[in-house]
């Protein structure tokens, strides 16, 4: 709640920068130009997972979700009339039946009514083995979906699950399809039809994507203010950023923490832009540790299998130094694996204490060798240190970490590789999936509901030759942790879940399953010409698009 209040205040402060109150009638018209750095193959999030597709999906520009997440991890109903709870009869006592009530009078942008049938159809597409939709994991728990009437959908879950508000972030218009075997070749997979304030009109690959105002937007026929939006594809972030500062683009989708110092400096030196940063924690940069030897969870990693090494790494990294010197102060320290969303657990981060780290290693029998790198029973404390190649900011603090750990006697050999080598599947030899790494730096963990994130540290998540599917971070296998994860994912009692997640977070922290480095500060910047932008949502400024307008 406090967080929401802070954001609200921040939003008001942002609004105060407008020269004066613009009369409603002068807000209309104009086309905003937004630079998009990562082009998606299509703008339908159910078929394309590159970041650009977000603007066609969860951001609510064209396609809208049933529930919109707010910064504190609560939800606001959008296409739904209310949040289903046990109290309002939306959720059955046992938690296995959830009834979603839709708002009256919603129409697709082509004028056809939006009904319960559309939700049923979307689920049928997910179930169809011939469809290639990228089914979000939350649907695995759904047994059946039935339309009770035009505006009511009843869902049977296989077991009670608290993540039912994560369903239908994206609904497909049943009337646009002939069958449920929808594949990425379907035109709707490229430019989806939605209920939102804008309509896709054109997609010139590698060039630009055009959106036009939806004249009969159901929420308010007077919205949106803009006549249209042009998404210009600019593959080089540096070029996009500089052109943005020159006023060629109204905003950029999207900036990362590393861009914020430059943007803030430009704002201070008079560039016509507004920079806004998020108050809550966002994606955390993790140092994922491989707990197993060559992908086999029954054999501990020769170096990282030792808790002393993991503790020494935790205490040996000067995180604040990284934030201050490399990130220009944009970043916060985080100690808990569940640091945002509805169940955030507060655990203080490890302090930087190289003496403590050295002491821990001494006590565990890791003796410094002739070159200062520690050795125990003939095993050298030497680890491979990888992350996605090509990120300049990352490479800088990677070297700080390397140096920090060398000072306590742990050698980190930097060997960065392209992202799809890291994230490839088991059969493709992906490094994470096959466990072919020692330490891997990657961002993750920012979830409204932590269920799926915590699941990637369970024994079940580890793929092997018989069971090649699974997404694991660290080949960590601890039956106690699994037990808690299982309970937390199947109870509806929020109090009980909070208690279970708190235990898991503590266990995760004590065992040092993975080492958090810092939480990036999420930020946005837009040209002063663009007004009405507010970061009131979980995903930032993007869902406020209907209220955007160009200064007269």
The residues of the shown chain that bind other proteins, judged by CB under 8 A, are 33, 39, 41-42, 45, 47-51, 129, 132-137, 139-140, 183-186, 189-190, 204-208, 230, 232-236, 238-240, 242-243, 246, 248, 283, 388, 417-425, 427-430, 442-444, 446, 452, 456, 469-471
Tell me how far CA of residue 112 lies from CA of 152, 173, 218, 513, in angstroms.
Answer: 17, 9, 12, 50
| Residue whose CB is less far from other proteins, 230 or 506 | 230
Tell me how far CA of residue 10 lies from CA of 17, 159, 303, 467, in angstroms.
Answer: 11, 41, 46, 48
As measured in angstroms, the least distance from the Cβ of 258 to other proteins is: 14
| Residue whose CB is less far from other proteins, 443 or 475 | 443
As measured in angstroms, the least distance from the Cβ of 269 to other proteins is: 14
Cα separation, 238 vs 231, whole angstroms: 17
Residues 100, 83: contact at Cβ < 8 Å? Answer: no
As measured in angstroms, the least distance from the Cβ of 420 to other proteins is: 4
Fill in the DSSP letter of residue 348: P
As measured in angstroms, the least distance from the Cβ of 319 to other proteins is: 19
The partner residues of 233 in beta bridges, in order of sequence, read 36
Fill in the DSSP letter of residue 1: -
| Residue whose CB is less far from other proteins, 48 or 310 | 48
| Residue whose CB is less far from other proteins, 154 or 208 | 208
As measured in angstroms, the least distance from the Cβ of 247 to other proteins is: 10
* Neighbour-count burial of 396, counting CB atoms closer than 10 A to its CB (0-12 exposed, 13-18 middle, 19+ buried): middle
| Residue whose CB is less far from other proteins, 115 or 161 | 161
| Residue whose CB is less far from other proteins, 90 or 474 | 474
Going by C-alpha positions, the residue among 167, 143, 156 that lies closest to residue 46 is: 167
The CA-CA-CA angle for residues 516, 328, 12, to 5°, reads 95
As measured in angstroms, the least distance from the Cβ of 129 to other proteins is: 6
Fill in the DSSP letter of residue 80: B
As measured in angstroms, the least distance from the Cβ of 230 to other proteins is: 6
Residues 381, 409: contact at Cβ < 8 Å? Answer: yes
As measured in angstroms, the least distance from the Cβ of 400 to other proteins is: 20
273-277 and 251-253 as β-strands: parallel, antiparallel, unpaired? unpaired
Cα separation, 431 vs 419, whole angstroms: 10
| Residue whose CB is less far from other proteins, 136 or 335 | 136
Residues 364, 313: contact at Cβ < 8 Å? Answer: no
| Residue whose CB is less far from other proteins, 26 or 428 | 428
As measured in angstroms, the least distance from the Cβ of 469 to other proteins is: 3
Omega cis (within 30) before 254: yes
As measured in angstroms, the least distance from the Cβ of 452 to other proteins is: 5
Structure tokens at 107: 């129409």
As measured in angstroms, the least distance from the Cβ of 444 to other proteins is: 5
Q: Where are the alpha helices (DSSP H) in 194-351?
A: 237-245, 260-268, 307-316, 319-325
| Residue whose CB is less far from other proteins, 40 or 345 | 40
Cβ neighbours around 459 below 10 Å, total? 16
133-141 LR contacts (CB < 8 Å, sep 24+): 133/46, 133/47, 133/182, 134/45, 134/46, 134/47, 134/48, 134/49, 136/166, 136/169, 137/452, 138/163, 138/166, 138/167, 138/452, 139/167
| Residue whose CB is less far from other proteins, 353 or 391 | 391
| Residue whose CB is less far from other proteins, 184 or 223 | 184
């Amino acid at each position: 709640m406090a967080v929401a209040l802070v954001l609200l205040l921040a939003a008001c402060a942002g609004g105060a920068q407008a020269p004066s109150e613009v009369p409603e009638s002068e807000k209309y018209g104009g086309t905003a130009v937004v630079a998009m750095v990562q082009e998606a193959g299509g703008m339908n999030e159910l078929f394309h997972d590159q970041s650009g597709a977000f603007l066609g999906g969860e951001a609510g520009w064209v396609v809208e979700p049933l529930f919109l997440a707010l910064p504190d991890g609560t939800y606001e109903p959008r296409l739904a009339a209310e949040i289903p709870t046990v109290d309002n009869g939306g959720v059955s006592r046992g938690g296995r039946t959830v009834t979603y009530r839709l708002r009256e009078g919603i129409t697709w942008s082509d004028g056809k009514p939006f009904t319960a049938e559309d939700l049923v159809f979307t689920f049928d597409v997910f179930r169809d083995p011939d469809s290639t939709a990228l089914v979000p994991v939350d649907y695995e728990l759904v047994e059946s979906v039935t339309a009770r009437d035009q505006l009511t959908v009843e869902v049977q879950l296989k077991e009670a699950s608290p993540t039912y508000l994560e369903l239908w972030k994206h609904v497909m218009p049943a009337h646009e399809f002939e069958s449920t075997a929808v594949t990425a070749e379907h035109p709707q997979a490229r430019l989806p039809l939605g209920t939102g304030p804008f309509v896709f009109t054109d997609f010139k690959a590698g060039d630009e994507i055009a959106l036009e105002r939806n004249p009969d937007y159901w929420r308010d026929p007077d919205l949106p203010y803009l006549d249209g939006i042009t998404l210009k594809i600019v593959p080089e972030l540096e070029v996009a950023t500089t052109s943005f500062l020159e006023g060629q683009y109204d905003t950029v989708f999207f900036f990362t923490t590393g861009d914020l110092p430059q943007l803030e400096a430009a704002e201070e030196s008079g560039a016509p832009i507004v920079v806004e940063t998020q108050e809550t924690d966002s994606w955390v940069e993790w140092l994922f540790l491989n707990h197993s030897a060559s992908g086999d969870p029954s054999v501990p990693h020769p170096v990282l299998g030792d808790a002393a090494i993991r503790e020494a790494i935790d205490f040996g990294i000067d995180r604040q130094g990284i934030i201050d010197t490399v990130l220009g102060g944009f970043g916060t320290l985080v100690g808990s694996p569940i640091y945002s969303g509805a169940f955030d657990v507060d655990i203080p981060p490890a302090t930087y204490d190289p003496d403590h780290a050295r002491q821990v290693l001494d006590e565990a029998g890791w003796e410094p060798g002739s070159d200062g790198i520690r050795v125990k029973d003939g095993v050298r404390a030497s680890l491979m240190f990888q992350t996605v190649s090509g990120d300049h900011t990352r490479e800088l603090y990677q070297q700080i970490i390397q140096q920090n750990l060398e000072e306590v006697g742990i050698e980190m050999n930097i060997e960065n590789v392209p992202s799809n080598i890291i994230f490839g599947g088991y059969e493709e030899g992906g490094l994470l999936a096959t466990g072919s790494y020692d330490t891997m730096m990657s961002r993750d963990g920012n979830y409204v509901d932590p269920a799926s994130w915590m699941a990637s540290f369970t024994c079940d998540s580890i793929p092997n030759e018989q069971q090649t599917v699974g997404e694991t971070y660290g080949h960590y296998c601890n039956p106690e942790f699994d037990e808690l994860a299982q309970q937390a994912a199947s109870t509806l009692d929020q109090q009980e879940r909070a208690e279970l997640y708190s235990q898991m977070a503590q266990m995760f922290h004590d065992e040092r399953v993975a080492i958090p480095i810092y939480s990036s500060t999420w930020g946005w910047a837009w040209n002063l010409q663009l007004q009405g932008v507010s970061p009131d949502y979980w995903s930032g400024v993007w869902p406020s698009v209907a209220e955007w307008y160009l200064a007269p």
